[in-house]
A and B are shown apart, each in its own frame.
Chain A
């Protein structure tokens, strides 16, 4: 089954404790991205990657890191999480030239 997976689905952590949210897709898509969803703001892009070893900042990159060492994986790293990073996070992927993104199930992160 073609899909984008994220782990964990739920995470509660404390300020300053490094964490990683994994994202993997099995569709051989070139393009992957991370979004955060906050009430009244819709989805805002954090980082995106056009292909392996190619990443770039989106609209709200502060406090986040990403890497793209393999085509299928695109982890999101929070080196020192803060309460304002409490949000719902989505990973998405799409094929190059195809104007449609496939979304993972979301990760609910709470930073206390």
Chain B
């Protein structure tokens, strides 16, 4: 069974600084997809970034980037130049190539302080 682990229940960062959120996963599959979702106080689930396992290059989206270590089954999210609007719960998620079932970690609550 696939599992996703986020070991940091809560984190905080000063505005304009950089923060990294950790995620590890467990799977025996070779083809899969990894995601980071953001959930602000509005509760809406917003896709931040995605990574295909077959791609060696780490995905980036503006201030958001990932460090994908396939051998270590690690998928961390780096947020650069943190902004107050980045305050949210962040979920790491995993999906295999076999179907559309998505597995989520428990989440990390990030607070950006002014």
Q: Which of A16-74 contact B (CB under 8 A)?
A: 31, 33, 35, 40-45, 48, 50, 58
Is B84 an interface residue when CB atoms closer than 8 A count as contact? no
Q: How many residues of A contact B (CB 8 A)?
A: 24
Chain A contacts of B43 at CB under 8 A?
88, 105-106, 108
Main secondary structure of the interface of A (DSSP, over half): strand
Selected contact of A42 from candidates B52, B100, B105, CB within 8 Å:
B105
B7, chain A: closest CB distance, angstroms: 13
Chain B contacts of A106 at CB under 8 A?
43-45
Question: Which of B45, B91, B104, B105 has the most chain A CB atoms closer than 10 A to its own CB?
Answer: B45
Render A67-105 as a binary contact track against B, CB cut-off 8 A, 1 for contact. Answer: 000000000000000000000101010101001110101
Which B residues are within 8 Å of any A CB, using their own CB?
4, 6, 9, 33, 35, 42-45, 47, 50, 52, 91, 95, 97, 99-102, 104-107
* Sample of 25 A–B contacts (CB below 8 Å): A35-B104, A40-B9, A42-B6, A42-B104, A42-B106, A42-B107, A43-B91, A43-B102, A44-B104, A45-B102, A90-B45, A92-B45, A92-B102, A96-B100, A99-B33, A99-B95, A100-B50, A101-B100, A101-B102, A103-B44, A105-B43, A105-B44, A106-B44, A106-B45, A108-B43
Which A residues are within 8 Å of any B CB, using their own CB?
31, 33, 35, 40-45, 48, 50, 58, 88, 90, 92, 94, 96, 99-101, 103, 105-106, 108
